[in-house]
Chain A
Amino acid sequence: MKVRKDLNEIMNHLKVAESFKENIVHWQTIEEKEASTDELPLDIHPALKEALQKRGITRLYTHQKSAYEEAIQGKSIVAVTPTASGKTLCYNLPVLQTIINDANSRALYMFPTKALAQDQKSEINEIIEEAGLPINSYTYDGDTPSNIRQKVRKAGHVVITNPDMLHSAILPHHTKWVSLFENLKYVVIDELHIYRGVFGSHVANVIRRLQRICRFYGSNPTFICTSATIANPLELAESLTEKRISLIDNNGAPSGRKHFVFYNPPIVNHPLNIRRSATLEVRKLASELLKNKVQTIVFARSRVRVEILVTYLQELIKHKLGPKAIRGYRGGYLPTERREIEKGLRSGEIFGVVSTNALELGVDIGQLQVCIMTGYPGTIASAWQQAGRAGRRHSESLVIMVASSSPLDQFIIQNPDYFFKRSPETARINPDNLIILIDHMKCAAYELPFKAGEQFGSFETEEVLEYLAEERVLYQNGDKYYWMNDSFPAHNISLRSASQENVVIIDQTDVANVKVIGEMDRFSAMTLLHEEAVYLHQGRQFQVELLDWEEKKAFVREVDVDYFTDANLAVQLKVLEQDKQQFISSGEIGYGDISITAMATIFKKIKFETHENIGSGPISLPEEELHTSAAWISLHKDIGQFNQERLEQGLIGTSHALKSIAPLFVMCDPQDIHVVPQVKAAHNEKPTIFFYDRYPGGVGLSEKIFDGFQLVLKEASDLVKKCQCAHGCPSCIGIDSSSQTAKADVLKVFETFMNGEIHVN
Chain B
Amino acid sequence: MSIKKKLNRLKSHLSHEVSTKSVLTTCQSIESEIPFIEVWENEGVTPYFFDGSYCLIRERRFPIDQQHGIYTFSQFSIAVNAWNESGMKHPLSAAGIKPESFVFFDTETTGLGGGVGNSIFILGHARLSGDEIHLKQHILPSPGAEVPLYQSFLESADYTTMATYNGKSFDWPQVKTQHTLIREHVPKLPSFGHFDLYHASRRMWKHKLERMKLSIVEKEVLGIERKDDLPGFLAPMIYFDFVERKDPQGMLGILKHNEIDILSLISLYTHLSFQILGLDQKQTAKEMYEIGRWFSHVGEAEGAKESFSRLANTTNSETAAAKHALAFEYKKEKKWMDALHIWEDVVDQGNEDVIRLEACIEIAKIYEHREKNLQKAIHFTRNAEAISQKLQSVNNRKLTISHQEIMKRLERLNKRLYRSF
- Shortest Cβ distance from residue A694 to the other chain B in the assembled complex, whole angstroms: 13
Chain B residues within 8 Å of chain A by Cβ, number:
45
Q: Once the chains bind, are A435 and B14 in contact (CB under 8 Å)?
A: yes
Q: Once the chains bind, are B144 and A579 in contact (CB under 8 Å)?
A: no
User: Of all chain B residues, which has the CB nearest A433?
Assistant: B10
* Main DSSP-derived SS at the A contact region: mixed
Q: Once the chains bind, are A697 and B10 in contact (CB under 8 Å)?
A: yes
Q: Once the chains bind, are A446 and B116 in contact (CB under 8 Å)?
A: yes
Q: Once the chains bind, are A477 and B144 in contact (CB under 8 Å)?
A: yes
**Given A463-B3, A486-B110, A593-B6; A173-B237 close (CB under 8 Å):** no
Specify which of B2, B15, B19, B114 is in contact with A500 (CB 8 Å cutoff). B15
**How far does the alpha carbon of A169 sit from the alpha carbon of B4 in the complex, in Å?**
30
Binding stretch for chain A, among B175-183, B255-263, B273-281, B299-307: B175-183
Specify which of B12, B21, B145 is in contact with A625 (CB 8 Å cutoff). B12
**How far does the alpha carbon of A579 sit from the alpha carbon of B29 in the complex, in Å?**
41
Specify which of B9, B16, B181 is in contact with A485 (CB 8 Å cutoff). B16
Q: Once the chains bind, are B240 and A485 in contact (CB under 8 Å)?
A: yes
**Given A471-B18, A477-B28; A434-B3 close (CB under 8 Å):** yes
* Main DSSP-derived SS at the B contact region: loop
CB-CB contacts below 8 Å: A460-496 with B: 463-464, 466-467, 469-473, 475-478, 480, 482-489, 492-493
A488: B residues at CB distance < 8 A: 111, 113, 115, 117-118
Q: Once the chains bind, are B10 and A435 in contact (CB under 8 Å)?
A: yes
Specify which of B12, B15, B116, B240 is in contact with A484 (CB 8 Å cutoff). B240
Q: Once the chains bind, are B7 and A464 in contact (CB under 8 Å)?
A: yes
CB-CB contacts below 8 Å: A650-703 with B: 696-697
B394: A residues at CB distance < 8 A: none
**How far does the alpha carbon of A492 sit from the alpha carbon of B16 in the complex, in Å?**
9
**Given A175-B176, A464-B3, A486-B111; A478-B29 close (CB under 8 Å):** yes
User: Of all chain B residues, which has the CB nearest A577?
Assistant: B1
Q: Once the chains bind, are B27 and A492 in contact (CB under 8 Å)?
A: no
**How far does the alpha carbon of A486 sit from the alpha carbon of B117 in the complex, in Å?**
9
Q: Once the chains bind, are A627 and B10 in contact (CB under 8 Å)?
A: yes
A648 within 8 A of B: no
Specify which of B6, B12, B18, B112 is in contact with A486 (CB 8 Å cutoff). B112
**How far does the alpha carbon of A577 sit from the alpha carbon of B9 in the complex, in Å?**
10
**How far does the alpha carbon of A449 sit from the alpha carbon of B177 in the complex, in Å?**
14
Q: Once the chains bind, are A478 and B112 in contact (CB under 8 Å)?
A: no
B154 within 8 A of A: no
**How far does the alpha carbon of A216 sit from the alpha carbon of B21 in the complex, in Å?**
34
Q: Once the chains bind, are B116 and A478 in contact (CB under 8 Å)?
A: no
**How far does the alpha carbon of A469 sit from the alpha carbon of B26 in the complex, in Å?**
9
User: Of all chain A residues, which has the CB nearest B237?
Assistant: A486
B111: A residues at CB distance < 8 A: 485-488
**How far does the alpha carbon of A384 sit from the alpha carbon of B18 in the complex, in Å?**
46
- Shortest Cβ distance from residue A76 to the other chain B in the assembled complex, whole angstroms: 27
**How far does the alpha carbon of A107 sit from the alpha carbon of B93 in the complex, in Å?**
45
Q: Once the chains bind, are B117 and A477 in contact (CB under 8 Å)?
A: no
Specify which of B14, B27, B110, B115 is in contact with A173 (CB 8 Å cutoff). B115
B143 within 8 A of A: yes
Q: Once the chains bind, are A482 and B144 in contact (CB under 8 Å)?
A: yes
**How far does the alpha carbon of A496 sit from the alpha carbon of B4 in the complex, in Å?**
26
**Given A477-B26, A480-B144; A467-B115 close (CB under 8 Å):** no
Interface membership of chain A positions 448-467, coded 1 if the CB is closer than 8 angstroms to chain B and 0 otherwise: 11000000000000011011
Interface membership of chain B positions 228-245, coded 1 if the CB is closer than 8 angstroms to chain A and 0 otherwise: 000000001100100110
CB-CB contacts below 8 Å: A550-586 with B: 576-577, 579
CB-CB contacts below 8 Å: A272-300 with B: none
**How far does the alpha carbon of A174 sit from the alpha carbon of B180 in the complex, in Å?**
10
Q: Once the chains bind, are B180 and A475 in contact (CB under 8 Å)?
A: no
**Given A482-B144, A577-B1; A475-B244 close (CB under 8 Å):** yes
Specify which of A446, A593, A625, A627 is in contact with B1 (CB 8 Å cutoff). A593
Specify which of B10, B23, B27, B243 is in contact with A478 (CB 8 Å cutoff). B27
A540 within 8 A of B: no
B215 within 8 A of A: no
**How far does the alpha carbon of A448 sit from the alpha carbon of B23 in the complex, in Å?**
23
Q: Once the chains bind, are A482 and B143 in contact (CB under 8 Å)?
A: yes
- Shortest Cβ distance from residue B14 to the other chain A in the assembled complex, whole angstroms: 6
- Shortest Cβ distance from residue B206 to the other chain A in the assembled complex, whole angstroms: 22
Interface membership of chain B positions 111-138, coded 1 if the CB is closer than 8 angstroms to chain A and 0 otherwise: 1111111110000000000000000000
Chain A residues within 8 Å of chain B by Cβ, number:
49
Q: Once the chains bind, are B10 and A463 in contact (CB under 8 Å)?
A: no
Specify which of A434, A472, A478 is in contact with B7 (CB 8 Å cutoff). A434
**How far does the alpha carbon of A477 sit from the alpha carbon of B117 in the complex, in Å?**
16
Q: Once the chains bind, are A476 and B3 in contact (CB under 8 Å)?
A: no
A476: B residues at CB distance < 8 A: 26-27
Interface membership of chain A positions 100-140, coded 1 if the CB is closer than 8 angstroms to chain B and 0 otherwise: 00000000000000000000000000000000000000000
B113: A residues at CB distance < 8 A: 488
Q: Once the chains bind, are A478 and B144 in contact (CB under 8 Å)?
A: yes
Residue in A174, A447, A473, A485 whose Cβ sees the most chain B Cβ within 10 Å: A485
Residue in A435, A487, A579 whose Cβ sees the most chain B Cβ within 10 Å: A487
A176 within 8 A of B: yes
Specify which of B10, B15, B181 is in contact with A448 (CB 8 Å cutoff). B181
B23: A residues at CB distance < 8 A: 470, 472
**How far does the alpha carbon of A495 sit from the alpha carbon of B10 in the complex, in Å?**
18
**Given A463-B3, A469-B26, A475-B243; A696-B117 close (CB under 8 Å):** no
A442 within 8 A of B: yes
Q: Once the chains bind, are A446 and B14 in contact (CB under 8 Å)?
A: no
Q: Once the chains bind, are A484 and B143 in contact (CB under 8 Å)?
A: yes
B143: A residues at CB distance < 8 A: 449, 475, 477, 480, 482-484
User: Of all chain A residues, which has the CB nearest B114?
Assistant: A173
A439 within 8 A of B: yes
- Shortest Cβ distance from residue B48 to the other chain A in the assembled complex, whole angstroms: 17
**How far does the alpha carbon of A500 sit from the alpha carbon of B12 in the complex, in Å?**
13
Q: Once the chains bind, are A438 and B236 in contact (CB under 8 Å)?
A: no
User: Of all chain B residues, which has the CB nearest A483?
Assistant: B117
B116: A residues at CB distance < 8 A: 172-175, 446-448
**How far does the alpha carbon of A471 sit from the alpha carbon of B19 in the complex, in Å?**
7
Q: Once the chains bind, are B27 and A697 in contact (CB under 8 Å)?
A: no
**How far does the alpha carbon of A470 sit from the alpha carbon of B240 in the complex, in Å?**
14
B309 within 8 A of A: no
B13 within 8 A of A: yes
**Given A175-B177, A486-B110, A486-B236; A445-B117 close (CB under 8 Å):** yes
User: Of all chain A residues, which has the CB nearest B117?
Assistant: A446
Q: Once the chains bind, are A449 and B7 in contact (CB under 8 Å)?
A: no
Interface membership of chain A positions 490-517, coded 1 if the CB is closer than 8 angstroms to chain B and 0 otherwise: 0011000000100000000000000000
A317 within 8 A of B: no
User: Of all chain A residues, which has the CB nearest B7?
Assistant: A467
B161 within 8 A of A: no
User: Of all chain B residues, which has the CB nearest A578?
Assistant: B1
**How far does the alpha carbon of A442 sit from the alpha carbon of B177 in the complex, in Å?**
19
**How far does the alpha carbon of A446 sit from the alpha carbon of B142 in the complex, in Å?**
15
- Shortest Cβ distance from residue A117 to the other chain B in the assembled complex, whole angstroms: 23
Q: Once the chains bind, are B4 and A471 in contact (CB under 8 Å)?
A: no
Interface membership of chain B positions 24-62, coded 1 if the CB is closer than 8 angstroms to chain A and 0 otherwise: 001111000000000000000000000000000000000
Residue in B5, B21, B111 whose Cβ sees the most chain A Cβ within 10 Å: B111
**How far does the alpha carbon of A176 sit from the alpha carbon of B236 in the complex, in Å?**
23
**How far does the alpha carbon of A477 sit from the alpha carbon of B236 in the complex, in Å?**
18
**How far does the alpha carbon of A472 sit from the alpha carbon of B21 in the complex, in Å?**
9
- Shortest Cβ distance from residue A593 to the other chain B in the assembled complex, whole angstroms: 6
Q: Once the chains bind, are B115 and A438 in contact (CB under 8 Å)?
A: no
B114: A residues at CB distance < 8 A: 173
B112: A residues at CB distance < 8 A: 486
Sample of 12 A–B contacts (CB below 8 Å): A175-B180, A439-B15, A467-B4, A472-B23, A475-B244, A476-B26, A477-B27, A477-B145, A480-B143, A482-B142, A484-B240, A576-B9
Closest 3 CB pairs of A and B: A446-B117, A482-B143, A486-B236
New A-B pairs, 9, CB < 8 Å, besides A172-B115, A445-B117, A463-B2: A439-B14, A476-B27, A478-B29, A480-B144, A482-B144, A485-B240, A486-B240, A488-B118, A489-B117
